[in-house]
Structure 1
Amino acid sequence: MRDSERAGPDRFGRWMRDLRISVTDRCNFRCRYCMPREVFGADHAFLDRAELLTFEEITRLVRAFSRQGVRKIRLTGGEPLLRRQLEKLVAMLTGVDGIDDVALTTNASLLAAKAQPLRDAGLSRVTVSLDSLDQDRFARISDTRVPLAEVLRGIAAADQVGLTPIKVNTVVKRGMNDGADILELAEFGREHGYVVRFIEYMDVGTTNGWRMSDVVPAREIVERLHAAWPVAPVDPDYPGEVAQRYRYLDGRGEVGIIASVTEPFCRTCTRARLSAQGELFTCLFAARGHDLRALVRGEVDDAELERRIEAIWGRRTDRYSELRTAETTNRPKVEMSYIGG
Structure 2
Amino acid sequence: MSTMLQWPASRPARPGDPLVDSFGRVHSDLRVSLTDRCSLRCTYCMPEQGNLWLERSTLLDAAEIEAIARVAALDGVDTFRLTGGEPLLRRDLAEIVRRLAALTVGGRPVEVSMTTNGIGLAGRIDELAAAGLSRVNISLDTVRADRFAELTKRDRLADVLDGIRAAAASGLRPLKLNTVAMRGVNDDELHDLVDLAVEHGAELRFIEQMPLDAGHTWDRSTMLTRDEILETLSARWRLTEVDGRGDSPAERFHLDGGPHTVGVIAAVTAPFCGACNRLRLTADGQVRNCLFARDELDLRRVLRSELSGTERDAALDSVLRASVLGKQAGHGIDDPEFLQPGRGMNAIGG
TM-score range, shorter chain: over 0.9
Task: Give how far 1:327 is off.
Answer: 4.6
Q: Does 1:185 align with 2:193?
A: yes
3-state DSSP of counterpart to 1:228: coil
Q: Does 1:174 align with 2:197?
A: no
3-state DSSP of counterpart to 1:196: strand
Letter in 1 for 2:182: K
Q: Does 1:340 align with 2:324?
A: no
Match of 1:10 in 2: 21
Match of 1:154 in 2: 163
Residues paired across the two proteins, number: 330
Change (3 A) 1:143 1:149: same
Once residues 212 and 344 of structure 2 are traced to their aligned partners in structure 1, the CA distance between those partners, rounded to angstroms, is 6
1:186-242 CA distance string (max 9 Å, x none):
1112222210000011111451511111111111111211220111001235x3110
Which residue of 113, 128, 132 maps to 2:123?
Answer: 113
Aligned 8 A contact 1:33 1:208 in 2? no
Match of 1:60 in 2: 67
Aligned 8 A contact 1:167 1:194 in 2? yes
1:31-180 matched pairs, under 5 angstroms: 31-37=42-48, 41=49, 43-98=50-105, 99-146=109-156, 148-179=157-188
3-state DSSP of counterpart to 1:334: coil
Aligned 8 A contact 1:286 1:334 in 2? no
Aligned 8 A contact 1:200 1:218 in 2? yes
Match of 2:208 in 1: 200
Once residues 25 and 311 of structure 1 are traced to their aligned partners in structure 2, the CA distance between those partners, rounded to angstroms, is 25
State the TM-score, normalizing by the size of structure 1. 0.92
1:75-116 CA distance string (max 9 Å, x none):
001000001121111001000122521000000011010110
Aligned 8 A contact 1:26 1:46 in 2? yes
Task: Give how far 1:167 is off.
Answer: 0.3
Once residues 288 and 30 of structure 1 are traced to their aligned partners in structure 2, the CA distance between those partners, rounded to angstroms, is 26
Which residue of 288, 295, 313 maps to 2:295?
Answer: 288
Which residue of 298, 307, 313 maps to 2:305?
Answer: 298
3-state DSSP of counterpart to 1:317: coil
Once residues 205 and 154 of structure 1 are traced to their aligned partners in structure 2, the CA distance between those partners, rounded to angstroms, is 25
Structure 1 window deviating more from structure 2 (302-311 vs 66-75): it is 302-311
Match of 2:4 in 1: none
Once residues 331 and 242 of structure 1 are traced to their aligned partners in structure 2, the CA distance between those partners, rounded to angstroms, is 20
1:107-154 CA distance string (max 9 Å, x none):
0011010110000101011000100001111111112132x1111111
Amino-acid identity (%) = 41
Match of 2:226 in 1: 218
Higher helix fraction: Structure 1 or Structure 2? 1
Match of 2:3 in 1: none
Letter in 2 for 1:268: A
Q: Please provide the CA RMSD for this pair.
A: 1.7
State the TM-score, normalizing by the size of structure 2. 0.90
Structure 1 window deviating more from structure 2 (15-24 vs 220-229): it is 220-229
